[in-house]
Amino acid sequence: MKSFETLSPAQLRRAAELKEKIESLTSELNKIFGGSTPAGVAAPKKDRRRRKMSPAAKAKLSAKLKIAWARRKSGASAAPAAKKNDGRRRPMSPAAKAKLSAKLKAAWARRKAAKQK
């Protein structure tokens, strides 16, 4: 799509005419179907109250952001130190593995028995 700077005055006039025609047709359609809002225009959202942040919370957030920006400006990593297992799950103990294996074997046995009936 071309930007407005690259269009000629004649093209801009034509675009304006088409836009007016679309708007008039849209309003005509709304009259026919009994719509109260024009097509493409969303009804206003319900007025919701925004939560207010306490001064203490604002101060805490401000301090954290200042530290983060200082780290970013200095080139240091802003991310917290990596976990020792690199975010992977903890290894399962042999006892837990045996317990889970027994449960799954019993479940599959029940499923197999139900299927054979």
Whether 78 contacts 72, CB under 8 Å? yes
Using pLDDT thresholds of 50, 70 and 90, give the confidence band for residue 11.
Answer: confident
Q: Identify the residue with better confidence: 74 or 85.
A: 74
Across residues 12-39, what is the average pLDDT? Answer: 83
How far apart CA 4 and CA 6 sit, in angstroms, is 5
* Per-residue model confidence as pLDDT tens digits over 78-105: 455 555 656 677 888 999 999 999 999 9
Q: What is the DSSP string of 10-51?
A: HHHHHHHHHHHHHHHHHHHHHHHHT-SS-TT-PPPPP--PPP
Q: Where are the domains of the chain?
A: 8-33
Using pLDDT thresholds of 50, 70 and 90, give the confidence band for residue 22.
Answer: very high
